[in-house]
Amino acid sequence: AGTPVERAKATLAALGADGDAPSRRSRSTTAPTVAVAPGRVNLVGGHTDYNDGLCLPMAVDRHVAVAARPRSDDLLRVRAADFDETAELAPDDDPKGWAAYVAAVARVLREEDPIGGADLAIASDVPTGAGLSSSAALELAVGRALLAVSGRDLPAADLALACWRAEREGVGVECGILDQFSAALCEADSALSLDCRSRETEPVPLGDGVGVLVIDTGVSHELTESGYNDRVRECAAALDTLREDADRDLDSLRDVDRDLLDAHADALDPVHFRRVRHVVTENERVRRARDALAAGDLDRVGDAMLAAHDSLRDDYEVSCPELDAAVELAAETPGVYGARMTGGGFGGSAVALVDDDALDRAERAIRDAAPERVGPDADVFACRPSAGVRLVGEE
Ligand code: GAF
C-alpha cells in the first residue's frame, strides 16, 4: 500500500536497518533523495523513433520512484520493493533482469564523471510488460537519483540520451529515443511533439475536455524477446535498398516520402515496402494529429490514432488479436475519439482518447466488456498527462 514515493522511502529505511548496513556517516547525516519518472503512452508515432521520425507521446501519472542515499564505498545496493529482491552491484558487474537497467545507467553515467556508491530503493505503479515504458521510467529515475547523490546534474535531454544508450548497450534493445525522451521531457497537462531527428521537443496542451484511457491487454510483451529488433533491421535493409535503387544519399527513412517510395517500390521486398509505407504514413499522421490537437480538433486526432493502429496492424505487423480487440472495443464506445496500440506492440496496451465528460462511463463500459472481448487479464484505467523525471521536493 502507499504511493511509489512512500514505498520507496519506507523500503530504503528498512534497508538501512538490516545487517549489511551502509556506512554510519551516510546513514546518520543524509536525508534520502527521491526521484520519480513517469511511464508514457504514445498517442501517435509508433515505430518512427528509430527511423528519425516524429512522435506524439504523453507521460502518464504512474511513476517509478527511487529513494537513494550515498554510501562510503563504490557499491550500489538496490532493493526492488515490488519484486522483494535486493541486488548488490560492484562497478563492473553485469547483472540480468531489472538490475541490468540500474547497472547500465550507472555505467553510462560513470563514463563522464564519477558517481558514488549508493543505497537505492525502487517502487513503481507503472505496470511492467504493458507497453507503458516502465523500463525507461526506471532508467530515468535511477539516473536522476544517482546524479543527485553524487552531487552531479545533467539537463533532462542529456540524461535521456544517457539512459537511451544504457538501454541499447546494456540491455540490448535497439530502441529509439521515444521512451527516454518521454520520461524525461514531457510536461504536465500536455502531449509532447518529439522530432527524433533534430531531438527538438514542444509541449502540445491536451486541453480540459480530453481524457485518456489505457487498456492493458494483460498480454505481456518483452521487447528483448519480441520481433522489435527484427523490425529495426527490416527498416535498415529497406533503407539500403532505397539508397541503392534511387542512387540517393538518404540518412534515414525520414528522408523517404510517398513519391520516392512509390518510384522504387519494385526494388523492395514486399514486406519491406509495407514497413516503409507504415513509417512514411505514420510521420504524416503525427503531423496531422499534432496540428489537430493544438487546434482542439479531437475528432481528427482520433482518426489519426485509428489509422495508425490499422497501419501498425497491417503494414508493420506489430499488433496482436488482443490489441486489435481493445482498439475495436474502444472505438465503438460512446465518447471515444480514437484508439491505437501504444509502445512496441506484440502485447501490452492500447490508448484511447476520450471526451472528458464521458470518461467515467467509457472506462466502466470498456472494463465491463474487456474480460470477454480482450482477455481475462485485461485492465482499464484513466490517466492524466504528467511531467517528466524530477526530484521530489523540487517540483
Ligand atoms: C518501444 C521502444 F522502446 C521505443 O523506442 C519505440 O520504438 C516504441 O517501442 C514503438 O514506437 O517502446
Sheet-wide strand order for 379-383: 336-341, 349-355, 210-216, 379-383
Cell 516520402, residue? 257
Judged by phi (left if over 0) then psi (alpha if -120 to 50, else beta), residue 140 lies in: alpha
179 CB within 6 A, ligand 1 = yes
> Residue 220's pLDDT is what?
86
Mention every residue, 6+ apart, whose C-beta is less than 8 A from residue 367: 380
Please tell me the distance between residue 179's alpha carbon and the centre of ligand 1 in angstroms. Answer: 6
> Residue 171's pLDDT is what?
81
54 CB within 6 A, ligand 1 = no
Residue nearest to atom 1 of ligand 1 (CA): 344
341 CB within 6 A, ligand 1 = no
| The three-state (H, E, C) secondary structure of the chain, written as one string | CCCHHHHHHHHHHHHHHCCCCCCHHHHHHCCCEEEEEEEEEEEECCCCHHHCCEEEEEEEEEEEEEEEEECCCCCEEEEECCCCEEEEECCCCCCCCHHHHHHHHHHHHHHHCCCCCEEEEEEECCCCCCCCCHHHHHHHHHHHHHHHHCCCCCCHHHHHHHHHHHHHHHHCCCCCCHHHHHHHHCCCCEEEEEECCCCCEEEEECCCCEEEEEEECCCCCCHHHCCHHHHHHHHHHHHHHHHHHHCCCCCCHHHCCHHHHHHCHHHCCHHHHHHHHHHHHHHHHHHHHHHHHHCCCHHHHHHHHHHHHHHHHHCCCCCCHHHHHHHHHHHCCCCEEEEEECCCCCCCEEEEEEEHHHHHHHHHHHHHHHHHHCCCCCEEEEECCCCCCEECCCC
Active site residues: 179
Pairing of strands 118-124, 76-80: parallel
Report the distance separating Cα 315 and Cα 299, nearest Å.
24
Please tell me the distance between residue 232's alpha carbon and the centre of ligand 1 in angstroms. Answer: 10
Residue 47 Cα: closest atom of ligand 1 = 11
Report the distance separating Cα 68 and Cα 78, nearest Å.
9
Instruction: Please answer whether residues 196 and 178 qualify as being in contact, where contact means their C-beta atoms are separated by less than 8 angstroms.
Output: yes
176 CB within 6 A, ligand 1 = yes
> Residue 217's pLDDT is what?
97
- Full pLDDT tens readout for the chain, 395 residues: 899 999 999 999 999 744 444 444 444 455 799 999 999 999 999 999 999 999 999 999 999 999 999 999 999 999 999 999 999 999 999 999 999 999 999 999 999 999 999 999 999 999 998 999 999 999 999 999 999 999 999 999 999 999 999 999 988 888 999 999 999 999 999 999 999 999 999 999 999 899 999 999 999 877 656 789 999 999 999 999 999 999 999 999 999 999 999 999 999 999 999 999 999 999 999 999 999 999 999 999 999 999 999 999 999 999 999 999 999 999 999 999 999 999 999 999 999 999 999 999 999 999 999 999 999 999 999 999 999 999 998 66
pLDDT digits over 77-120, tens only? 999 999 999 999 999 999 999 999 999 999 999 999 999 999 99
344 CB within 6 A, ligand 1 = yes
Please tell me the distance between residue 178's alpha carbon and the centre of ligand 1 in angstroms. Answer: 6
> Residue 28's pLDDT is what?
43
> Residue 263's pLDDT is what?
98
39 CB within 6 A, ligand 1 = no
Instruction: Please answer whether residues 38 and 180 qualify as being in contact, where contact means their C-beta atoms are separated by less than 8 angstroms.
Output: no
Residue 177 Cα: closest atom of ligand 1 = 5
CA dihedral (169, 175, 181, 182) positive or negative = negative
pLDDT digits over 359-394, tens only? 999 999 999 999 999 999 999 999 999 999 999 986
> Residue 395's pLDDT is what?
61
Please tell me the distance between residue 121's alpha carbon and the centre of ligand 1 in angstroms. Answer: 26
Residue 131 Cα: closest atom of ligand 1 = 12
139 CB within 6 A, ligand 1 = no
Please tell me the distance between residue 220's alpha carbon and the centre of ligand 1 in angstroms. Answer: 15
49 CB within 6 A, ligand 1 = yes
State which of 40, 41, 49, 234 you would mutate to test the pocket of ligand 1, scoring each by most atoms of that ligand within 8 A of its C-beta.
Answer: 49
70 CB within 6 A, ligand 1 = no
The model carries a pTM of: 0.95
Residue 136 Cα: closest atom of ligand 1 = 3
